Amino acid sequence: MCQLMGMNANVPTDVMFSFTGLARRADEHKDGFGIAFFEGRGLRHFVDHHSARVSPLAELVKHYPIRSDNVIAHIRKATQGVVSLENTHPFQRELWGRYWAFAHNGDLKGFAPRLHAAFRPVGQTDSERAFCWLMQELAKSHADVPSIAELSHTLAELMPQLNRHGTFNMLLSNGQALWAHGSTKLHYLLRRHPFGRVQLQDEDLQVDLASQTTAQDRVAVVATEPLTRDEAWVAFQPGELKVFVGGEPVPAGA
Which CATH number do you get for residue 206?
3.60.20.10
pLDDT for 1: 63
pLDDT for 253: 55
What's the pLDDT tens digit per position in 32-81?
Answer: 899 999 999 999 999 999 898 889 999 999 999 999 999 999 998 777 77
Taking only the tens of pLDDT, the chain with its 254 residues reads 689 999 999 999 999 999 999 888 867 777 789 999 999 999 999 999 989 888 999 999 999 999 999 999 999 877 777 888 999 999 999 999 999 999 999 999 999 999 988 899 999 999 999 999 999 999 999 988 899 999 999 999 999 999 999 999 999 999 999 999 999 999 999 999 888 889 998 887 888 888 888 889 999 999 999 999 989 999 999 999 999 999 999 987 54
> How many structural domains compose the chain?
1
Q: Which of these is catalytic: 1, 2, 73, 103?
A: 2
What is the domain extent for residue 23? 3-250
pLDDT for 231: 92
Q: Which residues 6+ apart lie within 8 Å of 164 measured at CB?
A: none
Whether 2 sits among the annotated catalytic residues: the reply is yes
Rounded to whole angstroms, the Cα distance separating 100 from 131 reads 10
19, 61 in Cβ contact below 8 A? yes
What's the pLDDT tens digit per position in 4-28?
Answer: 999 999 999 999 999 999 888 867 7
